[in-house]
Structure 1
Amino acid sequence: MINVLFVCLGNICRSPLAEGIFSHKIKERGIENLFNVDSCGTSQYHIGEQPDPRTVANAKENGIILDHEARQFSKVDFKAFDYILAMDKANYDVIERHDQNQHYTDKFYLMRDFDPDFKGEDVPDPYFGGEAGFQHVFEIVDRSVDSFLEFLIKEHDIKESGAN
């Protein structure tokens, strides 16, 4: 089982979107049984809440159904997940600070480390913007997830079985 965790600030916009897109893509490829996928936030602002309605609506318009309850990042996530992808540098830094002895740094990535167009940049937070910002974030996360998934398929020599 390959365990993947997507992390943003509140766990109601970017990270549940990444979780939803990734889950959708692995199901399409018939490899969802190889993965455990989750998302969380570094803050406690929205614990227990569903994703932002604007994120849910945008995802649905793009064929992705989101079903997630926000939770906060915890040190147990270091052991539970093989890949921890932060949506931006600020949240990456928070995760890194939790790893005080630097035992897990090989698991940390920025989501856009896998963006073929803008490697290493932040996924912008659409929370305070309009609908166009949510679509922009969807497009960034979608292409980054594609690249990340290709990385995982090569890294773990995964054989795809096609759509279920």
Structure 2
Amino acid sequence: MNLTLENPITKENHYKVCFVCLGNICRSPTAEGIFQHLIDERGLSEYFEIDSAGTSAYHVGQSANSKSQRTAQKYGVTLHSKARRFKTFDLDYFDLILAMDNENYANIQRMASDKHDHKIGRMRDFDPQPEDGQVPDPYYGGQDGFENVFQVVKRSCQHLLDELESHIQ
């Protein structure tokens, strides 16, 4: 995905990123937590606003899955988010919307108009090892699936932040 930034990223002009999966309890809160952690480590929190959402309403109001939380905590990352459903207004509000897989990408695209196309992508568009381009859903798997998701998302978030950081003024 080629990022098209209309304006440079400044303290006054926060860059807003939303990570999206199905239920907003595994993959997208992991991405939100990792990205926020990386931003904080680099001292860039004044430049970004980060959120996550799900295309379904299955888990609205719930904290991240306990296996996601355990995996994140193992690496010093805290998952603070509460599940919420992705809404049409999010398309206008966020500068970048990253789906975790093709199904959620398609769900977001159905909600969007042509004016939103430049800001919708997939998380693994920023992964140097994109494989099939999807972050696998670990929900029904064991702990290894959550570990794999954490590593895929961390790698993708690092490259995303590297690219965004070059636009900060």
TM-score by length of 2: 0.90
Report % sequence identity.
47
- Cα displacement string for residues 28-63 of structure 1 (whole angstroms, at most 9, x for unaligned residues): 000011001000000010001011011001100111
Look up the match of 2:150.
138
Aligned equivalent of 1:71, options 80, 84, 105: 84
Following superposition of structure 1 onto structure 2, how do residues 118-133 of structure 1 map, counting pairs within 5 Å? 118=130, 121-133=133-145
What is the SS of the residue equivalent to 1:23? helix
How far apart are 1:120 and its partner, in Å?
5.9
Look up the match of 1:162.
none
Aligned-residue CA RMSD in angstroms?
Answer: 1.0
Look up the match of 2:6.
none
**Number of positions where the alignment pairs a residue of Structure 1 with one of Structure 2:** 156
d(CA) in 2 for partners of 1:153 and 1:51?
A: 27
d(CA) in 1 for partners of 2:153 and 2:124?
A: 8
Amino acid at match of 2:64: P
Aligned equivalent of 1:49, options 62, 69, 74: 62
TM-score by length of 1: 0.92
Look up the match of 1:4.
17
Amino acid at match of 2:136: P
Aligned equivalent of 2:161, options 143, 149, 162: 149
d(CA) in 2 for partners of 1:24 and 1:15?
A: 14
How far apart are 1:126 and its partner, in Å?
0.2
Gapped runs of 5+ residues in structure 1? Answer: 160-164
What is the SS of the residue equivalent to 2:58? coil
Q: Say if 1:113 and 1:119, in contact at 8 Å, map to a contact too.
A: no
How far apart are 1:119 and its partner, in Å?
5.8
CA change 1:38–1:31 in 2 (3 A) is same
Q: Say if 1:110 and 1:120, in contact at 8 Å, map to a contact too.
A: no
Stretch of structure 1 that moved more, 117-126 or 45-54 = 117-126
Aligned equivalent of 1:19, options 19, 23, 32: 32
